[in-house]
Structure 1
Amino acid sequence: MKVESLVSRDIFYLTMMYAFNGVHDKVPLWGHLRRIAGTITGPHAIAGDFNCVLSATERVGGNVPTTEIEPFRDCVADCRVLNINVIGSLFAWNNKQKPEERIYSRLDRVLVNKAWCDHLPNLYAHFLPEGMYDHTPCIVSRSKQTQGKCSFKYFNMWGGSKDFIPIVRSNWEKYNDNENATNIKQKQVEELQAQLGRDPTDMLLRSIEYEAVHLLKELSIARDSFFSQKAKHRWVKEGDSNSAFFHGLLKQRKHWNKVIKVEDIHGKVCDTPEQIQSAFLGYYRQLLGTTHTTNKVHKRIIDQGPRCSPNDCSRVLIRPVNAIIL
């Protein structure tokens, strides 16, 4: 589905879907989604009932075979789409059975590509209570929040450089843009290699190119270490390419850390930054600044139960420990 904004005239692409229940029945669907995603370069969202989960943690009350997870996970990776932030009911489906037979699964979701994240960075999906149905209704909205101030963070890759301490001492406030330095060195290496392609007998040019490639490798390792720590994804390994999909994961994690809505102590839903801040302050002021009365312990009630004499207590405490006690 091709959608045009009446305000900005931007073009968006939306794929609505409903997947079959069987694992093998969904195989053609995964291939179809790959073909659709491969032909779209603009903002693209895929939403609906996938009838599948991405991990075992997305189901409660039933087993999740790997044969169900892996094809869907591979399709999501190939389509280079990500989950948008979710509030409300994470498990969008349940089988409505008796309590001891109830199964909850996250079958419904909204996936978007990087272009969509760039155009609508504060998008989130609100899954409402399902009522009498087995699936929860979903409303996709845009958060009212704006980017605030970011705290300073230290990254481990900095300490791996021999020049780290001298740079910090000489110019504390100077920012070292590793990403920009890597891109510049990459272009220099490409130019040198192009010259070598025209004249591979130039020994001086070979030496310069060799040193440039060595420095580029060091910068690339530092860059990947930086983004690996920032993304906090275990599957990221040293040497992984710095792709647009990788940067999309960083934006996704940053968006997930946002508090989009919260209820205050009076049950009112707060969705603006000022209201959310006031709700948290009000809760902790009540929690930490309120005096609570406790029930008085009556000695006469304690005396009605069995009591140990001081000697009995001493014997119990110094009694040897044996295997039966352990």
Structure 2
Amino acid sequence: MLEIVRKKFMGWEMADNFIHSPNDIIMIIWRGDKVDLEIKDSNAQDGLPALANFGLPGKCSEHSPCVVSLFDNKEHGIRPFKFLNMWSKHTDFFETVSNTWNLQVEGTAMLRLCRKLKALKDPLRKLDRKHFSHISVRAHIAEKELLQGQQLLHANPRDEFLKSRVAELMKKASRLAEAEMNFCSQLAKAKYFKNCVKCTQFFHDLIKRNKSRNQIVSLIDAGGAATTSSQQVSSLFVEYYKNLLETRKDCSKLDNEIFSVGNLVSEDQASDLLRPVLDEEIRSALMDIRDEKAPGPDGYSSCFFKKTWSTTGAEVCSEVKEFFRSGCILKQVNHAAIVC
């Protein structure tokens, strides 16, 4: 039996459709008469949305057993909003943002910004459904139409209508190919491959890996029992952080002599820390964030604010200044999303 298994493994070819398991280990070790293998085919990722593996101690053996748990009854909740950077390249994007940003909203600077960003999500979703839904399919169809048009033009090189038609198809295919590339790069979070020529299976495998990572399908409660129910997983998180943050303990008072012994800031440095934050400092800090990164939990990437700074910049600066002035921050800005 072992000889049959060894021959099957020897006949395998390593291709780019193999991805890391959730603990980021792909390991193939050949030892004499044994084969140690931990590998997962990306095709299995479609049928098995959640997978968890745990390496157990090997005790006296040189080999460690691996327990794999499969969860095929994953409950999916409402998909949160996520700004896709490819939207910013559409001609209707800036008009969509401006129309929403001109709304009159009452309240503090932080509340006004949060409400405008929330109101903008629906128009952006409509823009996505109309022009970018199933972007890979759209790009493939545009490429086929361009190929057909070029073949017709080769057969009729003097046809002026075909010349203009092919030029339009080429612009459309290039635009959709670029949008698909931006889409895959953002979801795959592959910063070292963002300038690749086209979207390969490698990108799609990275996207599948990220989706499987962004799921919490099982937790062990305080009693040591494991649960896979999404409601129980959510309640365990709430209970854990309530116990962690609501627990009060008596703390020793600060000793001012300790501060006097250490290094102190100068008067000029202290004054510099207390001075108001400048608009240019806020803008510079935002521009240093990578395009695919999100500065807040609302789903908007830094690319959105960079592209629309002429429209949204004043509101963003007012919000940041208000925070430094009041020391208060809304829960819409200061919270984390846990995907269960």
TM class by smaller structure: 0.5 to 0.7
1:240 to 191, 197, 209: 197
- Name the amino acid aligned to 2:77: G
Offset at residue 228 of structure 1 (A): 0.3
In the aligned structure 1, how far is the partner of 2:171 from the partner of 2:246? 60
| Secondary structure of 1:235's aligned partner | helix
Tell me if structure 2 keeps the 8 A contact 1:265–1:282: no
Find the residue that maps to 2:193 and give its secondary structure: coil
Q: Contact 1:83–1:110 (CA<8 Å) still a contact in 2?
A: no
Q: What is the CA distance between 1:157 and its match in structure 2?
A: 2.4
Evaluate the alpha carbon distance shift between residue 272 and residue 204 of structure 1 in structure 2; reply closer, same or farther with a 3 A threshold. same
Asked if 2 retains the 8 angstrom alpha-carbon contact of 1:123 and 1:142, the reply is yes
CA deviation digits over 1:119-168, x for unaligned, max 9? 32323322223333333211222125333322101122222333212356
Q: Which residue number in structure 2 is paired with residue 210 of structure 1?
A: 167
Cα distance in 1 for partners of 2:209, 2:200 equals 14
Larger relative helix fraction: 2
Where structure 2 has 5 or more consecutive residues not aligned to the other structure, the ranges are 29-34, 101-121, 267-340
Three-state SS of the structure 2 residue aligned to 1:240 is: coil
Shift of 1:259: 1.9
- Could you say what secondary structure the match of 2:69 adopts? strand
127, 132, 139: which one aligns with 1:182: 139
Within 5 A, what are the aligned runs for 1:93-242? 110-143=38-71, 144-167=73-96, 169=99, 172=123, 173-174=125-126, 175=129, 176=131, 177=133, 178-242=135-199
Deviations 1:16-66 (A, max 9, x none): 669xxxxxxxxxx9xx76x634xxxxxxxxxxxxxxxxxxxxxxxxxxxxx
1:93-140 deviation per Cα after TM superposition (whole angstroms, max 9, x unaligned):
9xxxxxxxxxxxxx9663233322223232332222333333321122
- For residues 20-39 of structure 1, what are the structure 2 equivalents within 5 Å? 36-37=12-13
| 3-state DSSP of counterpart to 1:123 | strand
Letter in 2 for 1:154: F
- The alignment status of 1:81 with 2:38, answered yes or no, reads no
Q: 1:108 to 1:292 in 2, by over 3 A?
A: farther
CA drift at 1:231: 0.6
**Cα distance, 1:233 vs. partner?**
1.2
CA distance in 2, matches of 1:318, 1:295: 25
Relative to structure 1, the CA distance from residue 108 to residue 159 in structure 2 (aligned partners, 3 Å threshold; closer, same or farther) is: farther
Cα distance, 1:82–1:230 mapped onto 2, change above 3 Å? same
Does residue 276 of structure 1 match 2:233? yes
Residue of structure 1 in register with 2:110 after alignment:
none
- After superposition, the Cα gap between the structure-2 partners of 1:318 and 1:253, relative to the gap in structure 1 and judged at 3 Å, is closer
Distance 1:16 1:139, change over 3 A: farther
- State the identity %: 26
SS, match of residue 267 in structure 1: coil
Consecutive unaligned residues of structure 1, counting only runs of 5 or more, are 2-14, 19-28, 38-74, 94-106, 320-326
Q: 1:254 deviation in Å?
A: 0.7
Over the aligned positions, Cα root-mean-square deviation in angstroms equals 4.0
Q: Over alpha carbons, which structure has the higher Rg?
A: 1
Partner-residue secondary structure (3-state), 1:130: coil
The structure with higher relative contact order (CA 8 Å, sep 6+) is 2
